[in-house]
Amino acid sequence: MAATKPFVSPSITYETLEEMLDVKPRGTSLFLGIPKESSFNENRIALTPEAVGVMVANGHRVVMETKAGEGASYTDRDYSEAGAQIVYDKKTVYECNMLVKSAPVSEAECELMHLNQCVISPIHLSVMKREILQKMMDKKITALSFENLKDDTGHNPIVRSMSEIAGSAVMLIAGQYLSNANNGKGVLVGGISGIPPTKVIIIGAGIVGEYAARTALAMGASVKIFDNSIYRLKRLQNNIGGRLWTSVIEPKILAKQLKTCDVAVGALNSSSGRTPIVVSEEMVSNMRPGTVIVDVCIDRGGCFETSEVTSQEDPIFRKYDVIHYCVPNIPSGFARTASQAISNVLMPLLLETGDNGGIENLVWLKPNIRSGIYLFKGSLTNLYLSERFNLKYTDLNLIMASKR
């Protein structure tokens, strides 16, 4: 039996369908507000006058509270000439659609924020309060944190910059309090020919520890580094390009080295929660009189048992005749450099946000930005904060997937 031929209607046309591609959203003009910070020891500002000038030249509007840049030695005139609008009322700044801050959002500032606002600022997980989070959630805020913001390579650019500043500053601070001018033991960091070099102990081989070691070595000091991560110790040696004295944090070895050091630096990193205490009060009591302790990780509790938070106005105290420098947020003491470093990261990010039509579109187009978002339109998208405060967690990737 012959097979029947298929019937094709002449009224039907067959054409190749075009591939559906994402269409880049239209750009939008950002309305940025920069308030004056009143937080403890905060002198930085998130955008420099040069960065503001670039933003204004690209069609964005910037409103600043008067004297917002004073801590970083920037005047209102610097910003005014760059194109920013200077206002004398904090409420006017908080009417902007997007806030850019160099300090975490406070409870008082939550009251000034309005519905569906966006804020870019530090978060300081260790001191965050549930009440602040809840108020921001109620107002459907979208919030991006400095600490968790990642670039295209997967690194945290602002955290790294601040760590580099803190590490580099450590030896300058230690040298200041070793001198007779500050009732120190009168020792020159590094020493000179014919005199044994100053002995520096660094606890932690992260970015802070690496830059503290670089500065100490450049000054001629003898450096010994402790960390429980062999990978970090190897990376530090490779980055510096020389063989260094390194060790895991073994209490007896650490105690022995602390007895004879001139400077001890606490530079341990903690991904969440409090920094572990690795130097006991007994170890500190056995250190030589006049030794300087600089506890960089005091922001998260400190790694020395004797550490207590101090301020830039009264930065040190003595215990067992050992000088303790425990000022949190060391980069703020070098506010102009720190502000420039933060601005170098945020300015390109803000320009990209405007080009892509707002923060919501940018988060959808660039997955690496999502790690920095801890609130998205009022939904809590940070798992650590959710578990800590027993608040509902929402996966940001699922929110973005639902947009497809």
**Which residues are known catalytic residues?**
124, 299
Q: At what angle do helices 207-218 and 157-178 cross, to 10 degrees?
A: 40
The DSSP bridge pattern shows strands 118-121 and 222-226 to be unpaired
Rounded Cα–Cα distance for residues 363 and 312 (Å): 37
Tell me the DSSP string of 76-101.
HHHHHHHTPEEES-HHHHTTSSEEE-
- If one counts every other C-beta atom within 10 angstroms of the C-beta of residue 362, the result is 20
In our burial notation (b when 16+ CB lie closer than 10 A, e otherwise), range 141-160 reads: bbbbbbebbbbeeeebbbbe
Give the CA distances from residue 235 to residues 32, 38, 40, 254, in Å, rounded to whole numbers and listed in that order. Answer: 40, 38, 34, 21
d(CA 347, CA 30): 12
Distance CA 223, CA 247 (A): 12
From the DSSP assignment, how many helices (H) and strands (E) are in the chain? 14, 15
